[in-house]
């Protein structure tokens, strides 16, 4: 749309570039009427600006509430991870570590099912339950995991380590290793009857940190380097 060859864009640019226009023509500013977004009534430019400002403030308030809630959630997770790490550090007998780790994960992070296996354990621990039952296929699978697996339980062998494996619909599986470049020496398995608890599109950063802490503790079960 244009007026006598002048486009709306040119008019808008003129008003932006001429801040004193409405000071010199205050009656024009007072005469401007706009449609309110909260109804079809006409409102003045000042009223419209106030409504826009109120809407912007409401949007900022919602964002602040979301940030506060996210901060509280992160603080709660940090507290749980702290208690989990502390329980590992306070475990004096290395042979008790797998049971402590599984118990604390289930308790602190409300995980319905959890289990782990360690292979290559030192002789004093080689006959214990957690050092048994990991087949070559499981070890190969663990070695292939660069990030935790999250998804449906499609009959993974490691799911049989869990209580009531037939009820487990989704899994998270975390390779246990000394570092990113080291070979896996175990596998931590978390399971849930909820098919959406662990999904392929979920973030895995927290699970990675959980695996790193568990790996650090369980390394006491391995022979000296």
Give this prediction's pTM: 0.70
Q: Contact, 176 vs 187, CB < 8 A?
A: yes
Residue pLDDT, tens place only, 115-152: 999 999 999 999 999 999 899 999 999 999 999 999 99
57 is a domain residue: no
- Tokens 């849930």 correspond to 192
Residue 224 has pLDDT above 70, yes or no: yes
Mean pLDDT of 99-125: 96
- Say if 19 falls within a structural domain: no
- Is 206 contained in some domain? yes
CATH number at residue 157: 3.30.450.40
Query: What is the DSSP code (8-state) at residue 19?
Result: T
CA distance linking residue 83 with residue 108, whole number of Å: 8
Residue 77 within a domain: no
Question: CA dihedral defined by 20, 21, 25, 26, rounded to 10 degrees?
Answer: -60
Answer whether residue 2 shows pLDDT above 60.
Answer: no
Position 143 in a domain: yes
Range of the domain at 201: 91-221
Q: What percent of the chain has pLDDT over 70?
A: 88
Q: Provide the 3-class DSSP secondary structure of residue 189.
A: strand
Residue ranges of alpha helices (H) inside 43-173 are: 45-89, 97-108, 136-144
Which tokens sit at 128? 């214990």
Query: First vs last Cα of the chain: how many Å apart?
Result: 79
What confidence tens digit (pLDDT) does each residue in 151-185 have?
A: 999 999 999 999 999 999 999 999 999 887 789 99
Domain contains 56:
no
In the prediction, which pLDDT does 132 show? 93
- Is 50 domain-assigned? no
Number of domains the chain contains = 1
Token pair of 6 as six digits: 């002048």
Structural contact between residues 42 and 34, judged by C-beta atoms closer than 8 angstroms? yes
């Amino acid at each position: 749309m244009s007026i006598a060859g002048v486009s709306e864009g040119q008019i808008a640019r003129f008003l932006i570039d001429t801040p004193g226009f409405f000071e010199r023509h205050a009656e024009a500013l007072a005469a401007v009427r706009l449609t309110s977004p909260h109804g079809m009534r006409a409102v003045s430019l000042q009223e419209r600006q106030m409504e826009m400002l109120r809407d912007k403030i409401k949007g900022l308030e919602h964002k602040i509430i979301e940030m506060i809630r996210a901060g509280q959630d992160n603080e709660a997770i940090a507290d749980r991870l702290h208690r989990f790490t502390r329980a590992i550090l306070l475990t004096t007998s290395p042979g008790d570590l797998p049971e402590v780790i599984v118990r604390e994960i289930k308790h602190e992070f409300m995980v319905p099912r959890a289990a782990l296996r360690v292979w290559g354990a030192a002789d004093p621990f080689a006959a214990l339950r957690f050092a048994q039952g990991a087949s070559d296929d499981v070890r190969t699978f663990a070695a292939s995991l660069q990030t935790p697996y999250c998804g449906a339980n499609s009959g993974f062998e490691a799911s049989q380590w869990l209580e009531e494996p037939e009820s487990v619909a989704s899994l998270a599986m975390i390779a246990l290793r000394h570092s990113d470049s080291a070979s896996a020496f175990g596998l931590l398995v978390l399971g849930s009857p909820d098919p959406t608890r662990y999904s392929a599109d979920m973030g895995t950063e927290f699970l990675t940190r959980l695996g790193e802490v568990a790996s650090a503790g369980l390394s006491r079960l391995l022979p000296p380097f």
